[in-house]
């Protein structure tokens, strides 16, 4: 399988590799399972643009619904009771606020309130967009709090494919987020990606940089990409800087459940130095939960969190970017755990 990146940067920051991989996963699953259907506003147009194979071969399973995000989720819940595996396309993550009751009170409780029946499978797909107080928010931490929901945020094409296959193949409700701020540049084309390959829920990715690992950096989404770039490139070509910061980097991939055992083992190897870098608002966020769990597990753990500022998202993309931790802030945080200067 070969994924192809767009050569020119997209002004709308719609990365191609993540989207191609997630739709490839949907297509491969639809080939094997005729119960999978796609629902959403403008679904036919979107599939035509992103996944023409789905539209041409399975058009009868692509359903464009009215502009009613909350109603569309409830429609998908009803369809799941009839044996359908719906993928509900909520275009922007901000619109999920309109669906809180249908997701948190209906979909999330579905398999708990119907004991003895086969578990229902629902995938709610959405995107973290950029720019604007009502089109640039990240509600992943809100949904991670609700029992009965899984929350995943892939940041590589391989993870996008594998997590979507897991979501479609596992009973339950999955919030599947694509992060538009993740850039296509720097990805390797996964030509050896196997059809049907999955990424288990709650399994993080361990990426090691350096020999020993003086600090564990836990991250996800666009910040995973930026952290790895910083760790790889910091100090190259500068005789006064230490190249290749010696770190362990853990990509969560799955926000809920998250890979507590892997984080605990990686933290042990660093001697208890933990840096959390998240793209969402740090206050009450995913990083706060991880920091609390790690501090309870290993007394004496030294923890630092970096995240977006608690502010309304500005309309300009450049200003939106400025809300996130900068390269300098990340490097300075790493230095707090090391002897680098």
Is the pLDDT at 237 greater than 60? The verdict is: no
Kindly write down the DSSP assignment for every residue of 324-339, as one continuous string.
Answer: SPPHHHHHHHHHTTSS
Write the pLDDT tens digit of every residue in 31-70: 999 999 999 988 888 887 788 899 899 999 999 999 899 9
Q: Does 223 reside within a domain?
A: yes
Could you tell me if residue 109 is inside a domain? yes
In terms of Cα–Cα distance, which of 341, 326, 318, 322 is closest to 13?
318
User: In which band, very low, low, confident or very high, does the pLDDT at 249 lie, cut at 50, 70 and 90?
Assistant: very high
Q: Is the peptide bond before 223 cis (omega within 30 degrees of 0)?
A: no
Q: Is the pLDDT of residue 235 over 90?
A: no
Same domain, 59 and 165: yes
One domain, residues 156 and 232: no
Residues 6+ apart with CB under 8 A from 319: none
**Mean of the pLDDT values across residues 261-265?**
94
Task: Judge if 318 and 275 occupy the same domain.
Answer: yes
pLDDT tens, residue by residue, 328-340: 999 999 988 875 4
**CA angle, 36 as apex, 174 and 189 as ends, to 5°?**
70
Say whether both 146 and 212 belong to one domain: no
**Are 223 and 80 found together in one domain?**
no
Question: Domain check: are 218 and 115 in the same one?
Answer: no
Residue 13 has pLDDT above 90, yes or no: no
Same-domain pairing of 171 and 257: no
pLDDT of residue 8 exceeding 50: no
Q: Which two tokens stand for residue 277?
A: 């870098």
| Same domain? 261 vs 131 | no
Domain count across the chain: 2
- pLDDT confidence of residue 42: 84
User: According to the model, what pLDDT value does residue 11 have?
Assistant: 44
Residue 341 pLDDT > 50? no
Q: Which long-range contacts (CB under 8 A, 24 or more apart) does 169-172 make?
A: 169/29, 169/121, 169/198, 170/121, 170/201, 171/111, 171/118, 171/119, 171/120, 171/121, 172/111, 172/119, 172/120, 172/121, 172/122, 172/148
Same domain, 97 and 28: yes
Judgement on whether residues 174 and 275 belong to the same structural domain of the protein: no
The fraction of the chain above a pLDDT of 70, given in percent, is 88
* Tens of pLDDT, residues 121-136: 999 999 998 878 888 8
Q: What is the CATH number for 54?
A: 3.40.50.970
Same domain, 40 and 166: yes
Tell me the two tokens of residue 142: 């809100």
Q: What is the arithmetic mean of pLDDT over 148-172?
A: 95
State the chain's mean pLDDT as an integer: 87
Q: Is residue 193 part of a domain?
A: no
> Which among 162, 179, 196 is the end of a domain?
179
Are residues 172 and 306 both part of a single domain? Answer: no
278 domain residue, yes or no: yes
**Res. 190 pLDDT band, cuts 50 70 90:** low
Asked if residue 324 is part of any domain, the answer here is yes
For 223, the domain range is 205-335
pLDDT score recorded for residue 262: 95
Q: Is residue 191 part of a domain?
A: no
Spell out where 9-135 has E strands.
Answer: 36-40, 62-64, 85-90, 121-128
């Amino acid at each position: 399988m070969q994924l192809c990146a767009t050569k020119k940067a997209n002004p709308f920051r719609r990365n191609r590799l993540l989207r191609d991989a997630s739709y490839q996963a949907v297509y491969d699953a639809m080939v094997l399972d005729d119960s999978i259907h796609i629902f959403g506003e403008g679904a036919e147009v979107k599939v035509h643009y992103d996944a023409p194979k789905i539209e041409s071969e399975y058009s009868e399973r692509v359903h464009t619904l009215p502009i009613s995000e909350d109603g569309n989720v409830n429609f998908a819940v009803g369809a799941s009771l009839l044996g359908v595996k719906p993928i509900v396309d909520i275009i922007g993550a901000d619109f999920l606020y309109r669906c809180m009751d249908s997701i948190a009170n209906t979909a999330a409780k579905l398999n708990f309130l119907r004991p003895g029946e086969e578990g229902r499978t629902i995938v709610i797909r959405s995107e973290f967009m950029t720019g604007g107080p009502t089109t640039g928010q990240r509600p992943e931490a809100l949904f991670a709090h609700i029992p009965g929901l899984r929350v995943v945020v892939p940041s590589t094409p391989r993870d996008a494919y594998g997590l979507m296959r897991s979501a479609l193949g596992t009973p339950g409700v999955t919030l599947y987020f694509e992060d538009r701020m993740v850039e296509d540049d720097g990805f390797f084309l996964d030509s050896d990606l196997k059809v049907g390959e999955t990424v288990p829920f709650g399994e993080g990715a361990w990426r090691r940089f350096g020999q020993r690992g003086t600090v564990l950096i836990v991250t996800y989404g666009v910040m995973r990409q930026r952290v790895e770039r910083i760790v790889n490139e910091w100090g190259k070509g500068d005789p006064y800087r230490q190249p290749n910061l010696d770190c362990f980097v853990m990509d969560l991939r799955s926000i809920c459940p998250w890979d507590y055992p892997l984080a605990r083992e990686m933290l042990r190897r660093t001697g208890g130095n933990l840096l959390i870098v998240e793209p969402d608002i740090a206050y009450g966020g995913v990083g706060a939960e991880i920091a609390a769990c790690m501090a309870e597990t290993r007394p004496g753990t030294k923890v630092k969190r970096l995240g977006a500022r608690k502010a309304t998202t500005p309309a300009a993309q450049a200003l939106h970017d400025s809300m996130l931790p900068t390269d300098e802030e990340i490097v300075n945080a790493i230095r707090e755990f090391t002897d680098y200067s």
